[in-house]
Structure 1
Amino acid sequence: MRYVNFNLGLLFAFCLVTQAHAIDAIDRLTAERLEAVHQSIMTFKTERRDIPRRGPYQEYRANLHVHSAFSHDSRGKIEDIVAAAKAAGTSVLMFTEHPAKHYDVFIDGHQGLRDEVLLIPGAETNGMLVYPRQSIKDMLSAKPQDLSDFVRGREGLTFVSHLEERMDWQLSGVTGVEIYNTHADSKDEKRLMSSLRNPLWLLKSADLFQRYPQEAFSALFDYPADYLKRWDQLCEIAPHTGVSANDAHQNIGITVRMAEDDKVRVEDGLGEEVLTLEAAVFAALKPIPKDTKPGTSLFELRLDTYERSLRHVGTHLLLRELTQPAVWEALNQGRAFVAFDWIADATGFDYAATSADVRTEMGGNTKIVAGLTLSGRAPLAGHWRLIRNGQIVQEYDGSNFELTVREPGVYRSELWLKVGGEDRPWVLSNPIYITEK
């Protein structure tokens, strides 16, 4: 057991920040900024209009890259994760457990319908999100390309994960790639990461996280420019379905418990001891009731609850029905879009190509013909970016747009909203692949 005494003056010095840098999560974690974001979210709820979906598909929200207690770095119980999914508007949970010797990610993994949420087992391994149709336990030491070939050859799905950590992000035959990862988004937040390792900073900031739980969690959110650049490059080589990765663990936070000898024990989000403090140091920040017994929880702050993590971003799928085969079909064909639903519910967003009576959904291929148009609709007005082969070719303002297509290319769209005074991406569509006549 390690005893640490802190000088409270150092705490307040630590929390002082400078403004001589680009805005980051710490800048956003002020009462004024969080309230501005909250007011934007309330306005969007008022202004949002339901729009009927065009085409033959139904829309279901999915979360990929989700960990439960099977993974060594999570303690999540399946009933809690399902409840969080329902609260966040999620219908499909695609788990990606860290493989281990004592369980099989496919055979033992969460699967089937549970309380109207479809559970799909998978693994985060070898630099990929892997959703197999059979056990992959004997393939875990394989090279990424070999593992992907094994899974894809048996009708499974593979997505290249954590692009910021790898050089071999161009693998052939994969289903797609993460175009946003919450954990990756946090890595460039150096001041935030440093602050989260300081229990006293967490105690001091607790009021903001409790008053603005989702806004504070999503303060780390930035446009994933590097991920999108690589995705655009990959899509020019072959179709790659873009998905969001929640990387949900529910393992960030602290619990403070009374200990023996006038000490308090500080635990991390997994219940492991971080340090011990003199009770008087903690009491200067939070009063301790008299006669508090050892083991009693004095304070708990969990930042990345499953509900907040799952609501932060989702992959919206266009399905024929809520079944595993229908999910496979949509992801294989790219009928999906990524939405940062913490800002506003993106249900109803539509992006398609049409000519005469023929409609091509996201992820589809079509040829240039007379009258071919790309169009988008959304339940909120915002700023549209139409991107061809990685370059912005047109921009529009409003709840919809339409463009006559005159040259081939890989066309995707983005829709941005102004949130708390900042321009933030709200929806990232999968592309439509347009070829010569």
Structure 2
Amino acid sequence: MKNNSRIRTVLRWSFRFILVLLLIVIVAFLVVFRGALYNRFFLFPQQQAAWEAIRADRYAVELPYSIPWKHYRGSAHNHSELSHDSVVPFERILEVLQETDRDFIAMSDHCLPGGIADFGAQWRGLYSGKLFIPGYEMSRGFMPWRLDSDVVLDCSKESEALAQEIESLGGLLFIAHPEEDRDWHLPQIRGMEIYNIHADTKDEDLKALAPDILLNFRRYPEQTIRLIFDRNTEMLAHWDTMNVSRKMVGIAANDCHQNIGVYGVYTEDGNLMLHESSGKNAQEYKLNFLTRLLLRLFTGKLVPGEEAFRFQLDPYNLMIRFVSTYALASELTEEAILDAFAAGRVYIGFDMIADSKGFVFMARNKDHQAVMGENIMLTPDTWLIVASPHRCRVTILRHGEKVHQSEGVIVDWQPTVPGKYRVEAELNILGEWTPWVYTNPIEVMRDITTITP
């Protein structure tokens, strides 16, 4: 009887211990994942529904004016298997462009072995109707395009000499990662990134994001990745300041690498080869009957030589959809798209939320009209006109300072002083105005002799 009593006592206390331990684990889980749980069951479903409602409420952009440009949607600053930190082949990039309805992609691979930028190494031209534009991301943030296929640049060359060489060869020089120290005094610099996804992640606490990544990324990938977004007020202010005294075209940078993740390949001898998606490291794990069975339960049928699973935080197609760079051009060619880049006939749209294709910002009077990147004479009948495919809040800024704000799909406003005017458009998502479109400026000028045709 005493033995039975001891056994019951041990079982009773064991049960209590397990119950307390389980309670501690549950409480710890709720504390650590409380924000992610709120997002999964409340915020993200509401955001998803709000985005879908905005997408469904799309207007045809119709203006009684003829604008001689087509809107081409693309992606700038992207990497391929030629970069040291990406393994994505051009064939896969083409598939992504087709899947995401992008017209062009401007590449910015890292310098090749030997410290060179070889403009004949990348895809160039139209592939299945998608335009590939060669380019590289070099030291000091140099990001040159519009160079012939026989051009090979020395990535170690001093920045002033390199900028002069790019210009002499007819190249178009933009700056990547302007949040870092850059040689802004160089007159060859024609444009810069005013938003970069990679730069936007630099101020994030990855530990704080981990619960959402673990709990919500598979179910709500778009809402989860949007957690990194911050209003880039400091960079926009820097851009506005430079545009007062010179022309500095703004574009968005997707900075696609697809290098944050892991994937497993089931080997011919029945083991698991675990790879980093950056291509840097691989390690083989021996599988026994039990671990092989568990792997099959979680991933399905195992085929030798094929991927068993992949966990990718930055898949190319997701990062491409995050933000778009639109070029107003006459045709889908490298020359026409980069002419639009050079002129500033460009706007960026955070199309993961809603498609911004067709957004218009223009100026008009009885004698002339101009779109973003162009200029127009200030007269008593000069108007700035905004037309949007979605209802939004439109803010017109002069040299970075707000001069007008109103809501709608059509907004017009009369400037009274010369200056460089640009537009920011925001969408109302669950009561919060969220950045959606940034345009390049139109210059409103007094002197008719300086007006471009």
Q: Normalising to structure 1: TM-score of the pair?
A: 0.84
Q: Which of 173, 178, 193 is matched with 1:163 structurally?
A: 178
Deviation at 1:104, TM superposition (A): 4.7
Match of 1:302 among 291, 295, 312: 312
Partner Cα distance (1:344, 1:194) in 2: 24
Partner of 1:365: 375
Residue matched to 2:136 = 123
Whether the aligned pair in 2 keeps the contact of 1:244 and 1:313 (CA below 8 Å) is yes
Kept in 2: contact 1:349–1:378 (CA 8 A): yes
Q: Which moved more, 1:408-417 or 1:293-302?
A: 293-302
What is the rounded CA distance, in whole Å, between the counterparts of 2:349 and 2:338 in structure 1? 19
User: How far apart in 2 are the matches of 1:331 and 1:289?
Assistant: 45
SS of the residue corresponding to residue 382 of structure 1 reads strand
Residues 390 and 378 of structure 1, relative CA distance in 2, 3 Å threshold? same
CA contact (8 A) 2:384 2:412 kept: yes
Measured against aligned partners, the alpha-carbon deviations of 1:313-371 in whole angstroms (never above 9, x if no partner) come to: 11111111111111121111100101011011111100011011411110112221121
Larger mean CA deviation between 363-372 and 406-415 belongs to 363-372
Q: 1:61 aligns with which of 73, 77, 82?
A: 73
Q: Which residue of 2 aligns with 1:105?
A: 118
1:254 maps onto 2:262 in alignment: yes
8 Å CA contact retained: 1:336, 1:430:
yes
Deviation at 1:224? 1.4
Counterpart in the other structure of 1:176: 191
- Tell me the equivalent position of 2:42: 32
In structure 2, do the counterparts of structure 1 residues 93 and 258 end up closer, same or farther at CA, with 3 Å as the change threshold? closer
Instruction: Measure how far apart 1:264 and its partner are.
Output: 7.2
Q: Is the 8 A contact 2:296 2:302 kept in 1?
A: no
Q: Give matches, 1:7-406, under 5 Å.
A: 16=32, 30-52=40-62, 54-101=66-113, 104-126=117-139, 127-134=141-148, 137-191=152-206, 195=210, 204-205=214-215, 208-256=216-264, 267-271=275-279, 272-273=281-282, 299-406=309-416
Distance verdict in 2 for CA 1:192–1:333, change over 3 Å:
farther
Secondary structure of the corresponding residue to residue 163 of structure 1: coil
CA spacing shift, 1:128–1:283, aligned 2, 3 Å: farther
Counterpart CA distance in 1 for 2:113 and 2:60 is 48
SS in 2 for 1:164: coil
* Structure with more relative contact order (C-alpha pairs < 8 Å, separation 6 or more): 1
After superposition, the Cα gap between the structure-2 partners of 1:293 and 1:89, relative to the gap in structure 1 and judged at 3 Å, is closer
Larger radius of gyration: 2
Between the aligned partners of 2:336 and 2:75, the Cα distance in structure 1 is 15
Aligned partner of residue 406 in structure 2, secondary structure:
strand
**What is the CA-CA distance between 1:190 and the residue it aligns to?**
1.4
| Alpha-carbon spacing, 1:296–1:369, altered in 2? closer, same or farther (3 Å) | closer
**C-alpha RMSD over aligned residues:** 3.5
Aligned equivalents of 1:241 and 1:154: distance in 2? 20
1:428 maps to 2:438? yes
What SS does structure 1 have at the residue aligned with 2:217?
helix
**1:125-161 Cα deviation digits (max 9, x unpaired):** 0212211414554431123333223212322111111
Instruction: Name the CA shift for 1:289/1:182 in 2 (closer, same or farther; >3 Å).
Output: closer
Long gaps (5+) in structure 1:
1-7, 20-25
Q: Is the 8 A contact 2:271 2:284 kept in 1?
A: no
- Which moves more between the two structures, 212-221 or 263-272? 263-272
Structure 2 residue matching 1:85: 3-state secondary structure: helix
Offset at 1:186? Answer: 1.0
Q: Could you tell me whether the CA contact under 8 Å between 2:383 and 2:415 is conserved in 1?
A: yes
Kindly state the Cα deviation for residue 299 of structure 1 after the two structures are TM-superposed: 3.6
Could you report, residue by residue, the CA deviation over 1:237-262 in whole angstroms, capped at 9, with x for unpaired residues? 21111100000011122225679xx9
3-state SS of 1:247 partner: coil
C-alpha separation between the residues in 1 aligned to 2:229 and 2:37?
Answer: 12
Provide Cα deviations, 1:59-81, integer angstroms capped at 9, x if missing partner.
10121101010001111111211
Does the aligned pair in 2 maintain the 1:152–1:174 contact within 8 Å?
Answer: no
Give the SS at the match of 2:262.
Answer: strand
- Residues 92 and 118 of structure 1 are in contact (CA less than 8 Å); yes or no, is this contact kept in structure 2? yes
Shift of 1:185: 0.8
What SS does the corresponding residue of 2:110 show, helix, strand or coil? coil
Q: 2:169 and 2:91 mapped to 1: Cα distance?
A: 30
Q: Using the TM superposition, give the Cα deviation of residue 409 of structure 1 relative to its aligned residue in structure 2, in angstroms.
A: 1.2
Note the alpha carbon deviations across 1:94-118, whole angstroms, 9 max, x for none. Answer: 1111111367530111101001011
Which range moves more in the overlay, 413-422 or 86-95? 413-422
1:22 aligns with none
> Partner of 1:3 in structure 2?
none
TM-score by length of 2: 0.81
Q: Which runs of 5+ in 2 are unaligned?
A: 1-23, 448-453
Shift of 1:373: 0.8
Instruction: Label 1:264 to 1:195 Cα distance change in 2 as closer, same or farther (>3 A).
Output: farther
CA distance 1:369–1:95, shift in 2 (3 Å):
same
Aligned equivalents of 2:299 and 2:356: distance in 1?
46
Q: Which moved more, 1:262-271 or 1:184-193?
A: 262-271
Structure 1 residues 28 and 365: CA distance shift in structure 2, 3 A = farther
